[in-house]
């Protein structure tokens, strides 16, 4: 008895497998997205040991931003030396 035959025999389990599979896929893809795009997560220390220094003041690195105008108004600001 194959998987699809099992789901055809028990149609109430179809949504369960659908949402459980979607949750597993999201649980794998979201951390991969974070590893690829966020500079504060270090995986490779040899090539670029300080990637957070490459982020500009007006660059948005957030996944979801409630206030996108904040980064747009910072484009004209210069970097102040300490």
Per DSSP, the three-state class of 32 is helix
Q: Which two tokens stand for residue 43?
A: 């995986």
What does the pLDDT look like over 6-62, one tens digit per residue? 989 999 999 999 999 999 999 999 999 888 888 777 777 677 777 777 777 667 677
Burial 13-30 (b: 16+ CB within 10 A, else e): eeeeeeeeeeeeeeeeee
Q: What is the pTM of this model?
A: 0.49
User: d(Cα 39, Cα 46) in Å, to the nearest integer?
Assistant: 14
User: d(Cα 73, Cα 57) in Å, to the nearest integer?
Assistant: 10
> Is the pLDDT confidence value at 76 over 70?
no
């Amino acid at each position: 008895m194959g998987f699809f035959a099992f789901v055809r025999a028990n149609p109430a389990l179809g949504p369960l497998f659908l949402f459980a599979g979607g949750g597993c896929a999201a649980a794998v893809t979201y951390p991969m997205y974070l590893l690829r795009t966020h500079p504060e997560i270090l995986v490779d220390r040899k090539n670029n040991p300080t990637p957070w220094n490459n982020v500009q003041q007006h660059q948005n690195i957030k996944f979801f931003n409630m206030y996108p105008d904040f980064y747009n108004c910072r484009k004209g600001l210069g970097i102040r030396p300490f």
